[in-house]
Amino acid sequence: MTKIVEVKDLSKHYGKVKAVDNVSFKLEEGKIYGLLGRNGAGKTTIMHMLTAQIFKTSGELKVFGEEPYENENVLNRICFIKESQKYPETFRVKDVLNVSPLFFPNWDKEFAMALVEDFRLPLKRRMKKLSRGMLSAVGIVVGLASRAPLTVFDEPYLGLDAVSRNLFYDRLLEDYGEHPRTIVLSTHLIDEVSQLLEHVLVIDGGKLLLDEEAETLRGNASNVVGAAAKVESFVSGKKVIHRAPFGGLMSATVLGQLSAQDRMSAVELGLEIGPVSLQQMVVHMAGGNGKSGEAAQ
Amino acid sequence: MSFPMDDSRPIFVQIAERIENDILEGNLPEESQVPSINQFAAFYQINPATALKGINLLVDQGILYKKRGIGMFVATGVRDIIVGKRKEQFYEQYVVSMVKEAEKLGITTDQLTDMIKRGAKEQ
């Protein structure tokens, strides 16, 4: 499959702060990626580098096979919707829609107008008069209607209500089905988007913690609950990403598929096994639990 | 509309199961057309690649077949294949765990059989 983005040992340092530290990954054509991690993990910095908004400190970065900086050939194939996307204050919604085709060759005007109606955006209202959620909706309309071969959404839904977020997921999937393209979705609402993602990248402390197919991750972690000593004996030799003692009981989250034999022995030990959502997995891996770092190695 | 998926198993497996259920319940009769990948993706709010994987699972088992340029169809005589598969699963999922639980509670096999008969009568 064609690689849209190739990143090798990419770093971005601000003085002593290593915002992004030796990160390597590839993005393939026509997939939906989730870029997940805590605040300050380095997600936005990575997206800024991919879209040539800031310079890298070191490493290799290829987008559509070329360096993105000042490269029109690359940049006109990218659409980046930032967390708090800013448009000129005096612009009306329809002005934003009118200038967008200049930047995005694949712009679909009809689709944009349909989205404006879906999100109930007032076409004649100026940017400075829009609510926070409406501003986010404008960004989403631009991001979707741009149909850019590489579309990057960085927390696109600040202030957006649940109805509109759901609308975003629906429209994204519909349009992606008809016009496949590479989409990077960075978000904290992991539970909401986990079903949409084909591939997941987890960043923590500027490092890449996880780079895996979403379907492989599903069912790849389990919660084991029971008497502490029995839980310990069950999880020995397994990768434990989280431990929570509770009186004489203990809940442990283990990585890796459990075999039929594992399940049998869990039943014999009187342990309960439960599923772990992608969100919980990310919380544990990137979480404050001191053991998470070494377990993830 | 979003349908909650079970977090403990891959979504594509669950999609395949749901299609099998629809075939079992007669919602998808033999030789009828199955919704497209994109319809599945939109309906369940899942990634189209995942939907494709679920459908391919059934294609590999001969339950669905592809008509080039038209779409996916339910093959003839597959109800029996699915029923056979499900019976196997039924034993593992329900019977084995039921017998284990009964053992824990000191229920004898005879008592268990009686309970099953009682349950069947009350249905």
What does pTM read for this prediction? 0.83
Asked if B7's CB is within 8 angstroms of A177's CB, the reply is no
- Contact between residue A203 and residue A41 where contact means Cβ atoms under 8 Å apart: yes
- Residue closest to A216 by CA, chosen among A184, A240, A194: A194
φ/ψ of residue A220, rounded to 5: -95, 0
Question: E strands along A122-198, which residues?
Answer: 150-154, 182-186
Cβ neighbours of residue A277 closer than 8 Å, sequence gap 6 or more? A190, A191, A194, B7
A256 burial level (CB within 10 Å; 0-12, 13-18, 19+): exposed
Q: Other CB atoms closer than 10 Å to residue A168's CB: what's the count?
A: 27
- B12 min Cα distance to partner chain A (Å): 8
Residue ranges and CATH numbers for the domains of chain A are: 3-216 (3.40.50.300), 219-296 (3.30.70)
What's the pLDDT score for residue A290? 43
What's the pLDDT score for residue A267? 82
Q: Which residues of B touch A198 (CB under 8 A)?
A: 47, 49-50
- Cα separation of B60 and B2, whole Å? 27
Q: Which residues of A touch B10 (CB under 8 A)?
A: 215-216, 218-219
Q: Which of the following CATH numbers is that of domain B11-76: 3.40.50.720, 1.20.200.10, 1.10.10.10, 3.30.465.10?
A: 1.10.10.10
When CB atoms are compared, the residue of B37, B45, B53 closest to A195 is: B45
Q: Which residues of B touch A176 (CB under 8 A)?
A: 48
What's the pLDDT score for residue A188? 84
At residue A93, does pLDDT exceed 60? yes
Mutate to test the interface with A, among B7, B18, B89 (most CBs of A within 10 A): B7
Q: Other CB atoms closer than 10 Å to residue A253's CB: what's the count?
A: 25
B18 burial level (CB within 10 Å; 0-12, 13-18, 19+): middle
**A258 to chain B: closest CA residue:** B8
- B76 min Cα distance to partner chain A (Å): 29
φ/ψ of residue A8, rounded to 5: -135, 125
Q: Which residues of B touch A166 (CB under 8 A)?
A: 2
- B121 min Cα distance to partner chain A (Å): 31
At residue A127, does pLDDT exceed 70? yes
Tokens of B12: 């594509």
Q: Which residues of A touch B92 (CB under 8 A)?
A: none
pLDDT mean values, one per 10 residues, chain B (123 residues):
68 91 91 92 90 93 91 91 88 85 89 92 83
Radius of gyration, CA atoms only, chain A: 22
Q: Which residues of B touch A267 (CB under 8 A)?
A: 100
Q: Among A7-11, A269-273, B37-41, B98-102, name the most confident range.
A: A7-11
DSSP of A255-295, one letter per residue? ESPPPHHHHHHHHHTT-EEEE--HHHHHHHHSSS-TTHHHH
Asked if A275's CB is within 8 angstroms of B49's CB, the reply is no
Binding-face residues of A in 265-294 toward B, CB within 8 A: 267, 274-278
What's the pLDDT score for residue B2? 47
Q: What is the ipTM of this complex?
A: 0.75
- Cα separation of B40 and B22, whole Å? 13
B51 burial level (CB within 10 Å; 0-12, 13-18, 19+): buried
A150 confidence band (pLDDT: 50, 70, 90)? very high
Mean pLDDT over residues A171-179, rounded?
93
